[in-house]
Structure formats: C-alpha cells, structure tokens
Amino acid sequence: MTKDPMAALKAALPAHAMQDFDLFEKLKTKFYPTAREDRLNKAFLKLIRDAVEREDTNAELGYENRNKGKGLVLWGPTRTGKTSSMEKQFDDYAGFDGWRNPASDSPLLWISLPSPCTNVQVGRSLYTAATGSVLHGDPPAHKLFELASRAIVARRKMFVGLGELQHATHGVNGTDQQVLSDALKDLMEVHKLNLFVTGIETVVPFLQNDAQLLTRLSLVPFEKLTPDDLETVEDMVETYAEAAGVTVDDGDDPDFYPRIVHGCLGALGLSIEVTLAALQDCRSSGQKALTRDSYANAFAERTGVAASRNPFVADGWMDIDCSLIVPPAPSGPVSPTKKSRKR
C-alpha cells in the first residue's frame, strides 16, 4: 500500500516544529459563537421548515410532494466568519448528516466556488458534485445548469449550497449575470430545490437586480465589528487564550482590543485567525501571557510591513490602512456576450 503523503510529511518534521501541533490543530477548528448565530439559526430552521411543507396537503409527505424552493443568503465583508458559521449550522443539524461528502445520502449538496468563476464552471461543478463524474463536451452554461439540476433531483437532494457566490458575479457582463440569476430561479421554481448561499456584500445588488429571484430569498447580514462589539472581541481573545493555556496581558491599554478590530478590518473571523497566530507566537517564544507584541509579530508575518505601519505597535494606528492583511481576490475577465445564452 502506498504511504499516505500527509502522514509521511508529518512523521518527518523535527520535534521542535511539532511543538503545540495537536493543540493548535484543535484550536483552529474551535468555533466561537456570537449573537449572530441566533439570527442565522432562525433563518436556517425557517428554510428547512418551509422545505418540508407539502405542496398538496391532501397527499402524503414525500419528495415528490415538495413545494417550490426558497433560499437563504448569508452575506457580509470578507473574513467575517460566514462560511464557518454556515458550516456549523450544517454540522449541528442531524438532518444534514454526511453533508461534507457529496456522495452521501444527505439532502444537502454543497460546493464552494473558486475565484474567478464562470457560469460554465458553476454548472460543471454542480454536475460533478451531483454525479461524481466529469461531463465531456462543451455545452453552454444554461444547458449545464439544466443537466446539473436534473442530476441533483435524481439524487433526491433538497438543498443546494453555493459558497462564495461573488466569485461568479465579479467581472462578468449583465447578460452572463442574468444567465446565473435565471439558473438560480430555475433551481428553486422548476426543480423545487432550496438554496444556501454565502457571499460578500456585492452579491446583494446582484440578487436585488432580479425581483423574481429576490422574492424567494431571505438575506442575513454578518456585519463588521464596531466599538459596541469590543466586549465580544475581548471574550473571544480570552476564550482562545484560556484554551491555549496562557493569560491575556492587555497592559491596561484601552486600545488593546480596538487595535485588534482595526488591524483585522473589523472582521470577526479574521480577528480569530490573527489571535490564533498571536497565540502560536506567544507559546513558541515561551511567554505565559498574550501581549500586543505577539499580535504585532503575527500581523508583520502576514503582511511584511514595518513597525511604523503595524497597527499593533504604531502610535497612529487608527490612520493605518490594514488591507494588506487580506490580499485582494482576483476578478475574472468579462465573458464575451456572444457566448452567453438566456433560457
């Protein structure tokens, strides 16, 4: 039997490189819940409740007696924790058991879209996820969506998940956007499938551009952190620090947590990522308390900026542009109109 490459690579690491490996492997999968999850869960359960309502109340409950589909869109700035929160909902709902495996009997089929992504790629990805096979030939996008939808229904799926939908809407012309909009409507109205969607703020105007699409959707925002959320950030830092076996030393600095919010672009998910990196720096250097210095090291490692541009050590930290911590995503080329077809 061929040796697994991950096992071989891990076994070859020297002892010092394996310090705290198990600890941080677990910490990186630790979910930090906030009040946002309550709002998401309410919309999540409502969509499932709507999905299991019978179209014909005089007939028995069953797959063939389902209503037209609806959708839930979780949107917000990048790194706010949308994907992890949505996946947590899937994990916690017993009815979606096995959802991470497209070949399972779970009623949910989830794909995450690459960046950039064309309509053809979306259709092909859905088809492959539903069938486990690659579609040969070069059918147009609208045909791919139809084939994928039929395959999904043949698998008796009830929910389709599209992660990072903005990757399919950026840099494309209005005609191609309408093809995608029509495909989403057909999934719900013709094939009676329900949608889970995540995306950044730009997916909202895309959805709002089609009233027929928008009317079938429930939009749940994950906003940026504000000064009112400092207690949440403090609790998050202390929660992860305690799990890592260190204390938090804010040095009685009232700017300790505001610096985290600013340096992480007001994104909770990114704040957690940087906090974990700071904790790794703290423990690897033998420190017993998490300080701004470890955050500064984590920020510098991710961005390469000098101390004068590091929001965790610079005096004028509020005026520093911290956007380097999240490299801009590439935008796809505008697809030629002549290759787009409406249904």
pLDDT tens for residues 228-248?
A: 999 999 999 999 999 999 999
- Domain membership of residue 29 (yes or no) is no
- The string of pLDDT tens digits covering residues 144-169 is 999 999 999 999 999 999 999 999 99
User: Can you give the CATH number for the domain in which 149 is found?
Assistant: 3.40.50.300
User: At 10, which amino acid appears?
Assistant: K
Q: Look at residue 1 and tell me whether its pLDDT is greater than 70.
A: no
* Structural domain contains residue 245: yes
> Does residue 3 have a pLDDT over 90?
no
User: Are 61 and 54 a contacting pair, CB within 8 Å?
Assistant: yes
Tell me: do 204 and 274 sit in the same domain. no
Rounded Cα–Cα distance for residues 85 and 161 (Å): 14
What tokens appear for 35 in the block?
Answer: 């009040």
Residues 241 and 102 in one domain: no
- Check whether residue 237 and residue 202 sit in a common domain: no
What is the pLDDT, as a whole number, of residue 21?
95
205 and 249 in a single domain? The answer is: no
Looking at the fold, whether 193 and 245 belong to one and the same domain comes out as: no
| pLDDT, position 328 | 66
**Predicted pLDDT at 161:** 98
Does 334 have pLDDT greater than 50?
A: no
The whole domain housing 124 covers 36-223
The residue type found at 186 is D
Name the maximum alpha-carbon separation found in the chain: 71
Averaged confidence pLDDT in the chain: 94
Do residue 238 and residue 318 come from a single domain?
Answer: yes
What pLDDT, on the 0 to 100 scale, is given for residue 327? 73
Q: What is the pLDDT of residues 99-141, one digit of tens each?
A: 999 999 999 999 999 999 999 999 999 999 999 999 999 999 9
Tokens 């799990």 sit on residue? 243
pLDDT score, position 340: 40
Residue 8 placed within a domain: no
My answer on whether 238 and 218 are in the same domain is: no
Token representation of residue 178:
């309408």
Indicate whether 212 and 248 sit together in one domain.
Answer: no
Query: Would residue 20 count as lying in a domain?
Result: no
pTM: 0.90
Whether the pLDDT of residue 177 is over 90: the answer is: yes
Q: Which two tokens stand for residue 76?
A: 């917000």
Q: Choose between 2 and 33: higher pLDDT.
A: 33
pLDDT band for 329, please (50, 70, 90 cuts): low
Q: Are residues 44 and 190 in the same domain?
A: yes
